């Protein structure tokens, strides 16, 4: 991640977590004596789930060669006295001399965490390829242009006496703009007419009319089929896939894979509306400290018990939004 | 004991049943002002293609579009809803300064008034006042309606999710305190 981006990734608490440790028993061992020791540990100190990310053996190189240190078990699982007794019972007290060591408590998710936390004691790390946050120059250019449009919408809102929050939803696969909207709380006298809800409502009615149009078309074609005339029937494959998907819940996937660009961080209500709509990514400018649901007050996009997660980026063109900044 | 809250929740359950009869997730609700129902709603997410059209939003929009009330009315309203409001609706209700909320069963996956978050009383949300929220009114009936719905959905699916036919579970674990 050497790329300098004009926006900042809003990480989950797990991703931004700093080092927390847990105490374990370890012992230095001679290479030729590791056999019986590992056998003993495997039998009497089975792997604990909480230590799955921690390596069993640490190798420390120095000028006289190297030292091997083996991890026995967590301090939580057995008292020091009981452990000493157990070792003595197996006649290993001459080669296994436990002491307490700290290891990192949680698995590393980012490379930065891994590089930092492994210094304490070696750990496993599998980088999730989906975490890759690189953008092509063209993508960044598009992203900035979409935010410019959202800002224009917020200025439009302001001129109409509305709260200046603008938003735009696009399909990044073909760069089609699906909906442009702004906050209309003032004119509608409806306290919940936020830009995002307006945007989702637009996309939903669009989707519904497309669907009805297509199922109508199919109905007409089916009626025509019954008549033995040589009508040229032109059915595109899309209409059929639409019909086949009839039984699936359409709403579940309403905004699947779509991007939303909004001048201000969505409130908690709107953030959850984006979860319900299965949004793909969210880019916003100004952070909303009083009710923001995507980084400020809550991190709804990464919450463990919610069933849909998405990526969020903040601070995009923020300097252009500062004049319009408002917390509500 | 049958209280006034049970009376209204029974009515909310009728709306949930209507959702069930229309292939929607069975959640129903109503807003009560001075012991009078001023609006009601039920889930319409499938019909509208819109995952945000929860019962609460349906009822709120009905009340505001009637022309009889302004949004200030919610400050004096009690909401009865068969399932704990989700995170989205919990904050919507807070913005409306709702007076009191009573619900049937908890919403383990999305609940915003106790299950996942405590949006109704989170002190860091200073723009709008906290509101009291109590569950457990006709809880078993609300749960059974949801279960019936999911069993039916699974049977309708072209490829049922499990090998065995899903049976309707009837025992209900007691409510967590
Ligand atoms: Zn909002
Ligand atoms: Zn809801």
CATH number, domain containing residue B140: 3.40.140.10
Handedness of CA A140, A146, A147, A148 (dihedral sign): positive
Rounded to a whole number, what is the distance in Å from the CA of B46 to chain A's nearest CA? 6
> Looking at residue A116, what is its pLDDT?
93
Cα separation, B104 vs B119, whole angstroms: 18
Classify A65 in phi/psi space as left (phi over 0), alpha (psi -120 to 50) or beta. Answer: left
Helix (H) or strand (E) holding A104: strand A99-104
Q: Tell me if B162 is assigned to some domain.
A: no
Whether the pLDDT of residue A149 is over 90: the answer is yes
Catalytic residues of B: 56
Determine contact: A278 vs chain B, CB below 8 A: yes
Handedness of CA A241, A242, A243, A249 (dihedral sign): positive
The lowest-confidence range among A45-54, A214-223, A266-275, B83-92 is A214-223
The domain A17-130: what is its CATH number?
3.30.70
Determine contact: B88 vs chain A, CB below 8 A: yes
Which domain range does residue B103 map to? 4-151
Q: Tell me if B41 is assigned to some domain.
A: yes
Q: Tell me if B85 is assigned to some domain.
A: yes
Cα separation, A281 vs A264, whole angstroms: 15
Please report the DSSP string for A193-241 in residue order: --HHHHHHHHHHHHHHHHHHHHHHHHHHHHHHHHS-S-------HHHHH
Ligand nearest to the CA of A195: 1
Determine contact: B41 vs chain A, CB below 8 A: no
Determine contact: B158 vs chain A, CB below 8 A: yes
Please report the DSSP string for A45-96 in residue order: SPPPGGGTTB-SEEEEEETTEEEEEEEEEEGGGS-HHHHHHHHHHTT-TTT-
Rounded to a whole number, what is the distance in Å from the CA of A269 to chain B's nearest CA? 4
Chain B residues near residue A207 by CB distance under 8 angstroms:
49
Determine contact: A304 vs chain B, CB below 8 A: no
Asked whether the beta carbons of residue A306 and residue B124 sit closer than 8 angstroms, the reply is no
Rounded to a whole number, what is the distance in Å from the CA of A109 to chain B's nearest CA? 24
| Residue B77 and residue B62 in contact, taking contact as beta carbons nearer than 8 Å | no
Chain A residues near residue B125 by CB distance under 8 angstroms:
268, 290-291, 297
Q: Tell me if B177 is assigned to some domain.
A: no
The domain A137-211+254-326: what is its CATH number?
3.40.140.10
Determine contact: A204 vs chain B, CB below 8 A: yes
**Model ipTM value:** 0.93
- For residue A95, the CA-to-ligand 2 centroid distance in Å is 62
> Looking at residue A249, what is its pLDDT?
44
Asked whether the beta carbons of residue A247 and residue B158 sit closer than 8 angstroms, the reply is yes
User: What are the beta bridge partners of residue B29?
Assistant: B41, B81
**Helix (H, G, I), strand (E, B), or coil: what is residue A305?**
coil
> Looking at residue A325, what is its pLDDT?
66
| Residue A100 and residue A24 in contact, taking contact as beta carbons nearer than 8 Å | yes
User: Could you tell me the end-to-end alpha-carbon distance of chain A, in angstroms, rounded to an integer?
Assistant: 33
Look at chain B and report how many structural domains it folds into: 1
Asked whether the beta carbons of residue B52 and residue A189 sit closer than 8 angstroms, the reply is no
Rounded to a whole number, what is the distance in Å from the CA of B32 to chain A's nearest CA? 19
Q: Which residue has the tokens 């492994």?
A: A118
Determine contact: A273 vs chain B, CB below 8 A: yes
Q: What is the mean pLDDT of chain A?
A: 85
Q: Tell me if B128 is assigned to some domain.
A: yes
Q: Tell me if B98 is assigned to some domain.
A: yes
> Looking at residue A93, what is its pLDDT?
87
> Looking at residue A127, what is its pLDDT?
82
pLDDT one-digit tens code per residue, B74-126: 999 999 999 999 999 999 999 999 999 999 999 999 999 999 999 999 999 99
> Looking at residue A238, what is its pLDDT?
33
Cα separation, A43 vs A92, whole angstroms: 14
Which residue in B132, B127, B136, B147 sits closest to B101, CA to CA? B132
Asked whether the beta carbons of residue B95 and residue A252 sit closer than 8 angstroms, the reply is no
Ligand nearest to the CA of B29: 2
Chain B residues near residue A297 by CB distance under 8 angstroms:
122, 124-125
Ligand nearest to the CA of B79: 2
**Backbone torsions φ then ψ of A260, nearest 5 degrees:** -120, 135
Percentages helix, strand, coil for chain B (3-state, rounded to 5) are: 35, 20, 45
Which residues contact residue A136 at a Cβ distance below 8 angstroms, ignoring those fewer than 6 apart?
none
Q: Which residue has the tokens 């931004």?
A: A16
The lowest-confidence range among A35-39, A114-118, A137-141 is A35-39
Q: Tell me if B157 is assigned to some domain.
A: no
**Helix (H, G, I), strand (E, B), or coil: what is residue B156?**
helix
The arithmetic mean of pLDDT across residues B1-10, rounded, is 92
Q: How does strand A281-286 pair with strand A259-264?
A: parallel
Cα separation, A20 vs B127, whole angstroms: 35
The segment(s) of chain A belonging to CATH 3.40.140.10 are 137-211+254-326
Percent of chain B with pLDDT over 70: 94
The arithmetic mean of pLDDT across residues A93-122, rounded, is 92
The lowest-confidence range among A44-48, A189-193, A290-294 is A44-48
Point out the residue among B51, B90, B158 whose CB comes nearest to the CB of A277: B51
pLDDT one-digit tens code per residue, A3-55: 688 999 998 888 889 999 999 999 999 888 888 888 888 888 877 778 889 99
Whether the pLDDT of residue A241 is over 50: the answer is no
Contact pairs from chain A to chain B, CB under 8 Å: 104
| Residue A229 and residue A221 in contact, taking contact as beta carbons nearer than 8 Å | no
Task: Give alpha helix (H) positions in B22-161.
Answer: 45-48, 55-65, 87-95, 139-156
Please report which confidence band the pLDDT of residue A240 belongs to, taking 50, 70 and 90 as the band edges: very low
Ligand nearest to the CA of B57: 2
User: What are the beta bridge partners of residue A168?
Assistant: A180, A261
| Residue A22 and residue A63 in contact, taking contact as beta carbons nearer than 8 Å | no
Determine contact: A186 vs chain B, CB below 8 A: no
Rounded to a whole number, what is the distance in Å from the CA of B6 to chain A's nearest CA? 28
Q: Tell me if B165 is assigned to some domain.
A: no
Q: What pTM does this model have? A: 0.83
Which residue in A3, A12, A2 sits closest to A310, CA to CA? A12
Which residues contact residue A109 at a Cβ distance below 8 angstroms, ignoring those fewer than 6 apart?
A14, A15, A128, A131
Measured over all CA atoms, what is the biggest interatomic distance in chain A, rounded to whole angstroms?
Answer: 96
| Residue A180 and residue A153 in contact, taking contact as beta carbons nearer than 8 Å | yes
The arithmetic mean of pLDDT across residues B33-48, rounded, is 96
**Helix (H, G, I), strand (E, B), or coil: what is residue B162?**
coil
Point out the residue among A254, A267, A275 whose CB comes nearest to the CB of B50: A254
| Residue B97 and residue B31 in contact, taking contact as beta carbons nearer than 8 Å | no
The segment(s) of chain A belonging to CATH 3.30.70 are 17-130
């Amino acid at each position: 991640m050497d790329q300098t981006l004009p926006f900042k990734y809003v990480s989950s608490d797990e991703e931004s977590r700093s080092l927390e440790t847990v105490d374990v028993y370890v012992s230095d061992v001679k290479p030729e004596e590791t056999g019986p020791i590992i056998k003993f540990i495997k039998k009497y100190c089975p792997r604990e789930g909480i230590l799955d990310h921690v390596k069993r053996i640490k190798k420390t190189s120095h000028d006289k060669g190297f030292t091997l240190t083996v991890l026995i078990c967590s301090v939580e699982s057995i008292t020091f006295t009981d452990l000493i007794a157990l070792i003595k019972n197996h006649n290993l007290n001459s080669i296994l001399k436990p002491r307490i060591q700290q290891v990192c408590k949680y698995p590393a998710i980012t490379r930065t965490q891994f590089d930092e936390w492994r210094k304490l004691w070696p750990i496993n790390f599998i980088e999730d390829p989906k975490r890759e946050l690189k953008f092509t120059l063209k993508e960044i250019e598009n992203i900035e242009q979409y935010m410019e449009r959202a800002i224009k919408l917020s200025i439009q809102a302001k001129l109409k006496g509305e709260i200046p929050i603008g938003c735009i939803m696009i399909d990044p696969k073909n760069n089609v703009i699906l909906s442009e909207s702004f906050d209309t709380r003032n004119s509608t006298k409806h306290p919940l007419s936020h830009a995002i809800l307006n945007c989702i409502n637009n996309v939903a009615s669009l989707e519904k009319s497309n669907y009805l149009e297509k199922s109508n078309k199919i109905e007409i074609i089916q009626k025509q089929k019954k008549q033995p005339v040589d009508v040229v029937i032109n059915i595109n494959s899309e209409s059929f896939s639409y019909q086949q998907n009839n039984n699936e819940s359409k709403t579940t996937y309403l905004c699947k894979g779509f991007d939303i660009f909004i001048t201000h961080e969505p409130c908690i209500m709107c953030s959850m509306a984006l979860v319900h709509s299965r949004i793909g990514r969210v880019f916003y400018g100004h952070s909303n400290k009083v009710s923001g649901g995507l980084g400020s007050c809550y991190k709804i996009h990464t919450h463990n018990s919610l069933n849909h997660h998405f990526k969020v980026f903040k601070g995009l063109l923020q300097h252009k939004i500062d004049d319009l900044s408002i917390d509500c | 004991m049958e209280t006034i809250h049970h009376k209204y929740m029974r009515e909310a359950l009728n709306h949930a049943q209507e959702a069930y009869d229309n292939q929607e997730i069975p959640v129903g609700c109503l807003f009560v002002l001075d012991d009078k129902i001023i609006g009601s709603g039920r889930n319409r997410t499938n019909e509208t293609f819109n995952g945000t059209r929860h019962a609460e939003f349906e009822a709120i929009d009905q009340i505001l579009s009637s022309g009889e009330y302004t949004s200030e009315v919610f400050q004096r309203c009690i909401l009865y809803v068969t399932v704990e409001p989700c995170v989205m609706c919990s904050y919507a209700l807070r913005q409306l300064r709702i007076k009191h909320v009573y619900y049937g069963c908890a919403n383990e996956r999305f609940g915003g008034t106790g299950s996942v978050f405590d949006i109704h009383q989170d002190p860091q949300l200073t723009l709008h006042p906290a509101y009291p929220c109590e569950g457990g009114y006709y809880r078993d009936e609300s749960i059974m309606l949801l279960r019936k719905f999911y069993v039916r959905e699974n049977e309708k699916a072209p490829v049922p999710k499990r090998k065995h036919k899903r049976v309707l579970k009837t025992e209900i674990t007691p409510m967590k305190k």
